[in-house]
Structure 1
Amino acid sequence: MRKQHEWYDEHDAERWVAEPVKRPGRTAFARDRARVLHSAALRRLAAKTQVATAGSDDFVRNRLTHSLEVAQIGRELASTLGCDPDIVDAACLAHDLGHPPFGHNGERALDTLAADIGGFEGNAQTLRLLTRLESKTFDSAGRSVGLNLSRATLDAATKYPWPRRAGVRKFGVYDDDLAVFEWLRQGVGERQCLEAQVMDFADDVAYSVHDIEDGIVAHHIDLAAVAADRAMYWETVRQKYLPEATDAELDEGWRRLTDLHYWPSGTFDDSRRALGGLKDLTSQLIGRFVTSAEQATHAVFGRSKLIRYEADLVVPDGVRVEIGLLKGVGMFHVLNSPERQARRATQRELLTELADALWKTGPTHLDAALRADWHDAADDKARLRVIVDQVASLTDPSALAWHADLVGPA
């Protein structure tokens, strides 16, 4: 087998179920990336909501294009830091696999539905997909172990390395997936590995700049209006991202952004020049944020052995403020759009009705693999988890189609 990155060892490359090496020229981590890239779950992200409903506009991002952009940002930052780029690339590609139809809105609907069986969380569902539902490898008893990724890659894809508990909204594992979670997290507590921190930061960077770009092109965001009505925007920034930030910190962060020589001036007019300027803005901002984190991390940890639990990603406070501002400006228009609020309520009702219809009809309409899970389930709680797995796997259009077939027009 080709030698792993010089700082990773056999423990990092170990898989839940041992496999023969079919192509000695690739590292375990390159194989991991390929498995995620070729997965059905990744392909389905093309028809899942990012912010705007998937398919509603030819320009805006969906979950797949977002994941590809996160992977590019994460891979470049990983390379400059010295951690394995394939591990981070795979984790970035995988980070949204568990999201259900209609994005975070669908996530809330399924969490309510699954309240008595451990809830629903997109990141916990990602782990479930990678280690159970997206079948490639099986154990000696014939049970699916999912894509059977290496320990280091699964760890890098674990954004919230803890189970569900009271008072904490985000979590990374359901109770019935604890065995593989404990295997991949041996002896590391609840700390994110460096590769997961890079994935998480790349997600924030992509989300912050690309939502602004999409919002401007759709004429939902006017950057000049932010300065005039900043009190409303700053409230959203604090509510969603930076609860401790003062007006002075947010004002200074916005000043730094608007003083950049590539910051847009004037109203966006759909011209080729305006589109080019907007694309330059996203590129320059990504470079600004990533370079700042790279330099700050090297300043603290040097340039030796920046992998796993040997270092942490250092993001300057000013960069966190600037990213939070961009995310908050984008989110302001999501939260304050009456049209979107009405659509979101309809989407939650649709998923709830669909799950109820599937429950009443038992395994009849489930995909074949999930039909087998239904028959193998020990009790009603386990069967309800199968229903949740089925609904979560659907794309936005397929959720609408299944609902129309089983319930009636939405």
Structure 2
Amino acid sequence: MTTTSDLPAADLLPFFAYRDQQLVMEGVPLERLAHEHGTPLFVYSKAAMLSALAAYQRGLKGRPHLICYAMKANSSLAILQTLVRAGCGLDIVSGGELERALAAGVEPSKVIFSGVGKTRAEMRQALTAGIGCFNVESRAELDVLNEVAHDMGRRAPVSVRVNPNVDAQTHPYISTGLKGNKFGIAHEDVIDTYVHAAACDGLRVVGIDCHIGSQITQTGPYLDAMDRVLDLVEAIEARGVAIEHIDFGGGLGIDYQGDTPPEADALWSQLLQRMEARGYGDRKIYIEPGRSLVGNAGVCLTEVLYLKPGEHKNFLIVDAAMNDLPRPAMYQAFHRIVPVAQPQTEEQATTWDVVGPVCESGDWLGRDRALSVRAGDLLAVMSAGAYCMSMASNYNTRGRAAEVLVDGTRSTLIRERETPADQFRTERMLPAA
């Protein structure tokens, strides 16, 4: 049996509970899913995703708005369908994501195309589809988009992404709103960029965009960014360029390790009060939440393979690895790790580093975790709904995990486990010697 001091049962996230000493998501025991589909296995709660979305919808109720899920957080088709059917648009960052978005049934007019490196081919693809807006990140990109749209006889709807030089107080790899980041156009260059865009016959200015980072847990950075963006709106419109919508991006954090980000509805109550106080209460709002919609909705189930006690470190080797859960290796990120089955009796815990089978010292899922564990036990890596499957790889020719969506007492396999044959499919062998 397995136990852990990592997360008391009383502190489980919403839509998770121990029933008869088994970890249950909504109404489905996770042990059953691991036995049915194998491990590693990603499992997502539909109710958790829709609950997270509902908080944004409550916060923006009665105001003209568009919520576009940032699908880079998790782009599995069934996840996209779930959110699109609940009213979401989608925020994309590549032509491949546009194909996924359309396959999931989104209205093209509810698609926003972000990202610093859009190619001409991607621009043509998005213009042909009729997307709602391009969030443009540089003057050079603006000119190329104008040229592409002009050649197609179209006008591209554009919003310029502002880099407001606001510190989101998050990990440097996921901070996007400082001068040293690659994103957006510098605050002092924005007005001239808008005047230039308005003069381009292949462009149609529709909005202004700002996104300062990810896993933000405080309200202050949002308010600072909003003030800077509203200052710019005032100055841009004074130059005769109308702004239809204001896009405040996403970035709201989730609880990984006792983090306490504001609730989405409470955050937007404050932000809307600030907009109203400044005379922009009737302006249409776009937002692009990602992690906060799906992060705490997902877990990765993994089986304990071996116990490897050592003089300086004890290693707990599981069958999930850095190719399945890249965040710890990339960001030194913390994920709670909990037992799928609670113990019948109290057992002494040992401190372990939870590691995977990949041949890298960076292949770890959790460090210094107090666990009483045996080979064959199942563990759940929590808060694995965002930036895990979407960043998963085939390193060491490991197949990507299967995925399951839970809806009440029902579970649906939404991605089959990847096989070596799946990986070989697009490769070509050399001719016979």
Fold shared, TM-score > 0.5 on shorter chain: no
Bigger share in strand: 2
Instruction: Find the structure with the greater CA-based Rg.
Output: 2
Kindly indicate whether structure 1 or structure 2 has the higher relative contact order, using CA contacts under 8 Å at least 6 residues apart.
2
Bigger share in helix: 1
TM-score after normalising by structure 1: 0.30
